[in-house]
Amino acid sequence: MKKTVDGLILREVPLGEYDKLLTVLTARDGQVLMTAKGARSMHSKVMPVCRLFTYANLEYYERNDRRWVSGGSVNDSFFGLNEDLEGFSLASYLLQVATEITGEGVPADEILRMTLNTLYLIEKKGKPYEQIKGVYEWFAAKTSGFEPDLSGCAECRCGGGEDLWLDVMNGHLICSECLRKRAGNLALPELDAYQARNILLPLDPSTLASLRYVTVAPLSRIFAFSLTEESLACFGRVTETYLLNHLERSFDALEFYHSVRQPMK
Ligand SMILES: [Zn+2]
C-alpha cells in the first residue's frame, strides 16, 4: 500500500549505478531512510523529489523492511540555493547539523520547521549569512540540551555590564572580576579542575542581548534582530564555538563554507 509523508532531503548517498539512499527529515518520525530507485537518472519520475534540499510530499511503499520512493510532488525545491556558492555551502552545513541533532523515530517538528525557515532565508538572502548561521547554531545547541545560563555571572551574580565572558564548556557567564579571582591573577590553565578545556569567549553587550533573544524567541521571530558588523562577527564566533564544542565534532561543509566566504560588506 502506498503511503505519503512530507519530508526534507537531508542527505543523499549514491547506490549502484542509478539509485540513491536518502535520509529524509519528517516532523513525526524524525529521520527516515528511503531508497529511491532510478533517482540519479534524468528520465526518472522520482528524480525531482529526491534531490538534496528538496522539501517534498513523498509517496512510498514498504517492502523487506525498507521504504521505497515511488513518486511525489515538490513543496519547495530551494533551487535558488544552487545559484550562490556561499549560500549553498552554508545550507549544506546546516543540513549536516540537522542530521547530527535528529535521529530515527524521534519527532522533529520544530527542527524541521526551523530548518525550512532557515533554507528559505538563505535562498532569499533575507538576513546576513553570518546571522542566519549563528541563529541556527544557537537553536541547534539549545535543542540538543546545551542551553547555557545567560542570566548573569555564575559566581557573583552580577549583571556584568560590558565585561562578561561565556564559559563554553560550563555553559554559563563569568565576569572579568571573578575570572581574575578564579585564575589567581595567573593566566588560566588550558584544562580546568574537571579536566575540561577552558574556553572563554568575550561577549560584547549586543552579542549577549542577541544570544538572550535567540534563546527565548518563538521560531517565527527568531531572526528578527540586527547587529553591527563587529557584533555579528562576535556573535558568529560564539555560536559556532559553542555548538562545535558541545557536539564534540566539526563538519566538512563548515570548513568549505569558511573557505568560500566573502568578507562582510
Ligand atoms: Zn562575577
Domain 3-76 -> CATH class:
mainly beta
CA distance 48 to 42: 9
The domain locations on the chain are 3-76
Mean pLDDT score across all residues of the chain:
92
The model's pTM is 0.93
Express each pLDDT in 3-62 by its tens digit.
Answer: 999 999 999 999 999 999 999 999 999 999 999 999 998 888 899 999 999 999 999 999
The CB density around residue 101, as the number of other CB atoms within 10 Å, is: 19
Cβ atoms 51, 72 nearer than 8 A: no
The CB density around residue 162, as the number of other CB atoms within 10 Å, is: 11
Q: How far is the CA of 215 from the centre of ligand 1 (A)?
A: 22
Q: What is the pLDDT of residue 198?
A: 80
Give the long-range contacts of residues 179-187, CB within 8 A, separation 24 or more. Answer: 181/155, 182/155
Give, as residue ranges, everything with CB less than 5 Å from ion ligand 1: 153, 155-156, 175, 178
Express each pLDDT in 137-153 by its tens digit.
Answer: 999 999 999 999 999 99
Q: Which amino acid is at 150?
A: L
Q: What is the pLDDT of residue 194?
A: 52
Cell numbers 581574575: residue = 180
Express each pLDDT in 72-116 by its tens digit.
Answer: 999 999 999 999 999 999 999 999 999 999 999 999 999 999 999
Q: What is the pLDDT of residue 250?
A: 95
Q: How far is the CA of 153 from the centre of ligand 1 (A)?
A: 5
Express each pLDDT in 196-215 by its tens digit.
Answer: 568 999 999 999 999 999 99
Residue 183 has pLDDT above 80, yes or no: no
Cell numbers 535521529: residue = 103
Which residues, 6+ apart, have CB-to-CB distance to 69 below 8 Å? 22, 34, 35, 36, 37, 39, 46, 49, 50, 58, 59, 60
